[in-house]
Amino acid sequence: MQYDASLFPKLIAHAKEHGFVFQSSEIYDGLSAVYDYGPLGVLLKNNLRELWWKSMVQLHANIVGLDAAILMHPTVWKASGHVDAFSDPLIDNKDSKRRYRADQLIEDHIAKLLDKARKDTEKKFKKEGREDVPADEFQRRMGGDRNAQKATEIQARFEAALGASDWPGLRTLIEEADIVDPDTGSRNWTDVRQFNLMFRTQLGAMAEGASDVYLRPETAQGIFVNFLNVQRSQRLKLPFGIAQVGKAFRNEIVARQFIFRMREFEQMELQFFIKPGTQREWFDYWRETRLRWHHKLGLAPARLHLHPHTKLAHYADAAVDIEFEFPFGFKELEGIHSRTDYDLSRHEEFSGKKLRYFDPDTNESFVPYVVETSVGLDRCFLTHLCNAYSEEPAPTADGEEALRTVLKLHPLVAPIKAAILPLVNKDGMPEIAEKLRRELATDFMVVGEDKDTIGRRYRRMDAKGVPFCVTIDSQTLADETVTLRHRDTMAQERIALSQVHSVLQSALSPKAFFAE
């Protein structure tokens, strides 16, 4: 299944119109790649954060939480490798004055060549009257296509240049592959240079004597430097995990896909400390556990896949991305990394302090290995919006066909769980609705709404992703029943007013979600 990419601008407009996401400082023309969450956005984000926290900390006896500060000692970032290596290759176009990531320009070019090759191969088979060609035969024939061969050659040169940090080589490749500015078609490029993504600021009131510190680019290091504090204070035995949710900051070179790539964002990270030699088993466990978590929250399995890394970061002995099919293609949602003992060993080296685990069973002391799971909260949010957004035909009250926009969010993720709607503003209906709203509000995020026709109110609730509408009408006055409307099917059923709470409770119970 392929996304309809034309829905993406509509989804961005929808997110603003209904109070999910706003551009930061919009009245000043905005701050690039920085966003604010509106009334519905903050609810949805809180739900995702809470579901992650419960899944990780509450349900695992051997995982505890942490909330480390954003500012850390500057040597942390030397030890972690971020000062020397947390950078992207940057290139400017001299005519358009636009800035790009050189690696992304090349990757996009390769993707275009492969896409062309795929389409040309499809055409050739079609001409021969063959539609359902076996995948391996298709790949073989596509491999002979001129554009596919070009893509393979560029890919090999790209990997070699990147592996050797050969920035002039990347620039030559961009020129020789005839890669142009995607916006203007210009070929007038600057040299490629390295750009460190960390935001730098100063600690202390006086500029003199103040020291440079960084806004953390990942939450992980706060966990590593607190490894012994947490392990000793909680008397933890291996294997155990430390989980953290918090802000991270990256001065991204290119950030043009709404909240996909932000300069200020939130990460939900787990560092799971294990005995050396057991990393493969735990890596597999966390990959499957995290993939299942996304499936269980309703992300379409066809839109999720695993992308194992073939080229590993210097600290990792295995890595895999859980990718989601965004409207702009399959992209990373979450990373699972087997980080060996790299981080703790580096902090031992740079701090001069021992960061070891004493195993009481063997009387040995050693630096544990780590398996990390790291997912962006904002990216998870975008994934759910993309997965849920749909436009579909829906008959109006007078029987005409109309289009409804609906967010088919998982009920546990949905910001508002139910809307309580008096059919008309008289005969005591608003009072019954308000009483019910107040009763439900202690347990669920519910709203009341009495403006407009009931049909329009249903559409508005669909657009906000509200899974249930409860309507108080004249029959309620007669027999104390209400209409319960289901968002996804638009089906309506009659239930007792006194049953509304228990119906919502069972539909919104996290028990089934958390049960393994």
> Which listed range, 10-18, 175-183, 264-272, 503-511, lies at the site for ligand GAP (CB under 6 A)?
264-272
Residue appearing with tokens 């740079």:
350
Full DSSP string of 166-227: -HHHHHHHHHHTT---TTT----B---EEEE---EEEESSSSTT-EEEEB-S-SHHHHHHTH
Is the alpha carbon torsion for 115, 329, 189, 174 positive or negative?
A: negative
335 versus 448: smaller Cβ distance to ligand GAP: 335
Interaction between residue 485 and ligand GAP (CB under 6 A): no
Residue appearing with tokens 């900390």:
57
46 versus 152: smaller Cβ distance to ligand GAP: 46
3 state SS for 236-257: CCCCEEEEEEEEEECCCCCCCC
Among 90, 245, 262, 482, binds ligand GAP (CB under 6 A): 262
Interaction between residue 473 and ligand GAP (CB under 6 A): no
| Number of CB atoms found within 10 A of residue 124's CB | 14
Q: Tell me the closest approach of the beta carbon of residue 269 to ligand GAP, in angstroms.
A: 6
> Which listed range, 207-215, 258-266, 435-443, 494-502, lies at the site for ligand GAP (CB under 6 A)?
258-266
| Number of CB atoms found within 10 A of residue 200's CB | 12
Q: Tell me the closest approach of the beta carbon of residue 86 to ligand GAP, in angstroms.
A: 9
3 state SS for 438-461: HHHHCCCCEEECCCCCHHHHHHHH
Distances (CA, A) of 200 to 249, 319, 416, 459: 10, 29, 39, 46
Interaction between residue 347 and ligand GAP (CB under 6 A): no
Interaction between residue 378 and ligand GAP (CB under 6 A): yes
47 versus 373: smaller Cβ distance to ligand GAP: 373
Q: Which two tokens stand for residue 318?
A: 């295995």
Q: Which two tokens stand for residue 205?
A: 């009131």
109 versus 263: smaller Cβ distance to ligand GAP: 263
Q: Which amino acid is at 34?
A: V
Q: Which two tokens stand for residue 233?
A: 């204070």
259 versus 469: smaller Cβ distance to ligand GAP: 259
* Site track for ligand GAP across 291-330, x = CB under 6 A: ----------------------------------------
Query: Measured at CB, which residue is nearest to ligand GAP?
Result: 376
CA distance 448 to 99: 48
- Of 442, 387, 346, 400, nearest to 85 (Cα)? 346
Q: Which two tokens stand for residue 141?
A: 């024939």
Q: Tell me the closest approach of the beta carbon of residue 403 to ligand GAP, in angstroms.
A: 31
325 versus 378: smaller Cβ distance to ligand GAP: 378
CA distance 37 to 22: 6
| Number of CB atoms found within 10 A of residue 394's CB | 16
Q: Which amino acid is at 274?
A: I
Q: Tell me the closest approach of the beta carbon of residue 319 to ligand GAP, in angstroms.
A: 9
What's the distance, CA 81 to chain centroid? 24
Interaction between residue 41 and ligand GAP (CB under 6 A): no
Distances (CA, A) of 14 to 236, 391, 407, 452: 46, 12, 10, 20
Q: Tell me the closest approach of the beta carbon of residue 414 to ligand GAP, in angstroms.
A: 21
Interaction between residue 339 and ligand GAP (CB under 6 A): no
Distances (CA, A) of 169 to 85, 88, 196, 512: 18, 15, 20, 54
Per the CB < 8 A criterion, the answer to whether 198 and 215 are in contact is yes
Among 375, 412, 420, 429, binds ligand GAP (CB under 6 A): 375
38 versus 376: smaller Cβ distance to ligand GAP: 376
93 versus 267: smaller Cβ distance to ligand GAP: 267
> Which listed range, 225-233, 294-302, 367-375, 390-398, lies at the site for ligand GAP (CB under 6 A)?
367-375
> Which listed range, 331-339, 340-348, 392-400, 432-440, lies at the site for ligand GAP (CB under 6 A)?
331-339
294 versus 356: smaller Cβ distance to ligand GAP: 294
* Site track for ligand GAP across 214-253, x = CB under 6 A: ----x-x-----------------------------x-x-
Q: Tell me the closest approach of the beta carbon of residue 271 to ligand GAP, in angstroms.
A: 9
Size of the site for ligand GAP (CB under 6 A): 19
Interaction between residue 261 and ligand GAP (CB under 6 A): yes
Interaction between residue 35 and ligand GAP (CB under 6 A): no
Among 246, 335, 415, 465, binds ligand GAP (CB under 6 A): 335
Among 93, 231, 244, 267, binds ligand GAP (CB under 6 A): 267
Interaction between residue 269 and ligand GAP (CB under 6 A): yes
3-state secondary structure of 4: coil
Contact residues for ligand GAP, defined by CB under 6 A: 218, 220, 250, 252, 261-262, 265, 267, 269, 332-335, 372, 374-376, 378-379
